[in-house]
Chain A
Amino acid sequence: MVKVSEFDKVFNEAQRQGRLSFYFTNRGEEACSVGSGAALRDDDWVWPQYRELGATFWRGYTIEEAANQCCHNELDATKGRQLPMHIGSPEKHLMYVKSNLGQQVPAANGAAYAMKLQRKGRCSITYFGEGCASEGDIPSALNIASVHGCPTIFFCRNNGYAISTHTDDQYKSDGIAPRGVAFGMPTIRVDGNDLLAVYAATRAARRIAVEEGKPALIEAMTYRIGAHSTSDDDSKYRRADSPEEGYDSERAYWDARSPIVRFGRFLEARGLWTAEEETALRKTERAASIKALNDAEKRAQPHVKHLFTDVLDEPPWMLRQQQADLKAHLAKYSEHYAEVTAEQIESM
């Protein structure tokens, strides 16, 4: 959780400094992804939304890999195709993040069903926010999962806001949990800021999925402490008032009960952790993130030919033609394309 937190701070600042085009943080929701990620087997399929860096790091995805993708350099596995933090890994059974919302949820059913047919005791987990849950893909997927007994764990991070939209404008029901009940699956609402509760709930859901061949819905109540992303100014919409007295603002209220604070106190109370250790850990993680960013920035960008690769398994004739046309254009007007080297043009 601390690794996510420090990585978030470094990379969010980097965007503000103009070193990255875009970033979104996981602030306040670290337990949702770490707790659930830790409850799975390494080869369960993860279909994320985009605020699950904790589950990603849990699998062993490195900060260097994340930094490479954010800087879309030549080591970026996606060859610079998507926005920062649109990460994934087949070896680690992490499906790629994409910007649009909800499509991963029906797909998680298909992967889960394949695991069921293969009878190897594996499942899928898919994540979505309470805002994303309004998309048609979600009830579509809940229904199909129930009908066909897909071992899918549906994990909803109810974090209070969908960009600027408070939950008051997102639904009038009792949150998202009734939708699981409506579609006939075991459902639980959990304190999303309690790392161990999230872990326990996901363990239970996994057992149901794998042993009973049923989907399960977990609604984790949490709070998005940061902005949606670097593209919005949350001071324009975040509610000012704390739900309880004694806190300056809504954000301050939740900051005080964020997952890292709560788990830190839990460990401290048992003599397993100290404030000094936390400071030292944060320092180490921050330094590692800074180094990863600096290293990633220094590397070259992907070869320009990768504009055209991977559309189909083999490039069709029109792409080969367009690539040849672009090569000729770049050669003819090379002084206008300083970022493309002569060597790259030649080897297109």
Chain B
Amino acid sequence: MLSSLPRRAARQLRGVAAPSLRGAARPLSTAPSDAPEEEPETKKLTMVAAINDALRIALKTDESAVVFGEDVAFGGVFRCTMGLRDEFGEERVLNMPINEQGLVGFGIGLAAVGSTAIAEVQFADYIFPAMDQICNEAAKFRYRSGAEFDCGGLTIRAPAQAVGHGGHYHSQSPEAYFAHTPGLKVVYPRDAYTAKGLLLSCIRDRNPCLFFEPKILYRSSVCDVPTGDYMLPLGEAEVLSPGEHITCVAWGAQVHTMARACERAAAEGVSCEVIDLQTIAPWDMHTIRDSVQKTGRLLVTHEAPLTAGFGAEVAAAIQDACFDHLEAPIARVCGADTPFPLAFEKLYLPDELKIYDAIMRTVQY
């Protein structure tokens, strides 16, 4: 299913090094290639390898870039930083003590003076000690200084979402907390291909970015990934599969769960428009709106708990933009309002069957 989904062409940057000086223009994420269109060389990579590749390209093309976090020196607990220290040296790939507020603050300082800071928080569940730094410092750095300063060079990567056995503290999806703070970008890839392109865009974007990597896909997502330097646009949702009866929106690993539910519904004659939101902040409301104005129905699904999850924002905005078009209440199929359980993970999660059931109820409303 996934390999048959239409894929956006990679926008290849040829020989464009990201300048390291603050204030210098960075290559736009949608900058077209000057060379004649040709299929880029690709390689089958896991998401881990694709992320590793993105980090390698970032370190190679930007001499100011520093990668740092807990255990990154030996390669990282998920191997995302394998080989980087050997290739780029111990000054640029740093093990940090166990201290999220300290390492994120370090990244803010690096970025504030014009360097590129690529931080790793070992699990998204451990990002909370750094929330003050992220929400009070990084997010407000540009606004509070009248744009005299910014820490756009900061990217924080963290493995997130369910992994099958993670329990409370290895499974969380914290995007809603950060989407609620103006001044941040929040991004989720859905596979190896989007991981490399979106991560490079985050690293080069002139705003502080949070890049949440669905850890369950680290090894299980294998794609043809262009070997060169490419970026995918932030702030743009992707319609993976067009449909007529209902718009279905998800991000990260949940895109695949939702896609399988849509296939089940298709067998019942329901045509679903499958959309990967990709960027949670700022989210691509217009693509969703255009889709719902066509289909008249919306379903949003995320692993994070239902109440005040990002699905609530999508639902509120779309009921405002599409009130006259809606044929049914907007469906949200989400995690329960509980901490993420261990033994009951399967029952907690918005699984394929729950999504399928909600699709059918919505179209039959």
Contact = CB atoms under 8 A, between A and B. Distances in A.
Given A81-B144, A140-B101, A313-B142, A107 B108 contact: yes
A317 B146 contact: no
B115 A106 contact: no
Contacts of A110: 105-113, 115, 117
Interface in B186-217: 206-207
Given A96-B144, A107-B109, A110-B112, 14 more contacts: A98-B136, A98-B144, A103-B108, A107-B133, A110-B111, A113-B106, A114-B114, A140-B102, A144-B102, A144-B106, A310-B147, A311-B143, A311-B182, A312-B282
A140 B99 CA distance: 7
Contacts of A311: 142-143, 182-183
B245 interface: no
29 contacts: A77-B148, A78-B144, A86-B144, A90-B148, A96-B149, A98-B137, A98-B144, A103-B105, A103-B132, A103-B136, A103-B137, A105-B105, A106-B103, A106-B105, A109-B102, A110-B111, A114-B110, A114-B115, A124-B109, A140-B101, A140-B105, A143-B102, A147-B96, A310-B143, A311-B182, A312-B185, A316-B282, A317-B282, A317-B285
Given A103-B133, A111-B110, A111-B113, A77 B145 contact: yes
A272 interface: no
Contact of B207 (A111, A147, A312): A312
Contacts of A78: 144-146, 148
A303 B240 CA distance: 43
A47 to B, nearest CB: 8
A93 B101 CA distance: 24
| Range of interface residues on B (Cβ < 8 Å) | 35 or more
Contacts of A105: 105
B150 interface: yes
Interface in B89-138: 91-92, 94, 96-97, 99, 101-115, 117, 129, 132-133, 136-137
A329 interface: no
Contacts of A77: 145-146, 148
A88 B149 contact: yes
Contacts of A137: 101-102, 105, 132-133
Nearest to A147: B97
A55 interface: no
Interface string A286-316: 0000000000000000000000011111001
A283 interface: no
B359 to A, nearest CB: 28
Nearest to B286: A317
A249 to B, nearest CB: 37
B226 interface: no
B261 interface: no
Interface string A129-155: 000000011001101100110000000
A144 B103 contact: yes
Decide if the interface of chain A is mainly helix, strand, loop or mixed.
mixed
B64 interface: yes
A112 B115 CA distance: 11
A108 B109 contact: yes
Interface residues of A, number: 46
A347 interface: no
A100 interface: yes
Which residue of B91, B92, B152 has the most chain A CB atoms within 10 A of its CB atom? B91
A95 interface: yes
A312 B183 contact: yes
Contacts, number: 147
B97 A114 contact: no
B248 interface: no
Query: Which 6 A-B pairs rank lowest in CB-CB distance, beginning with the nearest?
Result: A110-B109, A106-B105, A140-B102, A107-B109, A316-B282, A110-B110
A76 interface: yes
A115 B114 CA distance: 11
A338 interface: no
A164 to B, nearest CB: 23
Interface string B254-296: 0000000000000000000000000000100110000000000
Contacts of B103: 106, 144
Contacts of A313: 142, 150, 152, 206-207
B113 to A, nearest CB: 5
B238 to A, nearest CB: 17
Nearest to A142: B102
Contacts of A109: 102, 105-106, 109
Residue of A78, A96, A106, A111 with highest tally of chain B CB at under 10 A: A106
B27 interface: no
Given A141-B102, A144-B102, A112 B148 contact: no
B355 interface: no
Contacts of B318: none
Given A312-B282, A313-B152, A318-B285, A81 B146 contact: yes
Contacts of B92: 117
A105 B102 CA distance: 9
A81 B112 contact: no
Contacts of A100: 132, 136
A140 B97 CA distance: 9
B228 interface: no
B304 interface: no
A310 B141 CA distance: 9
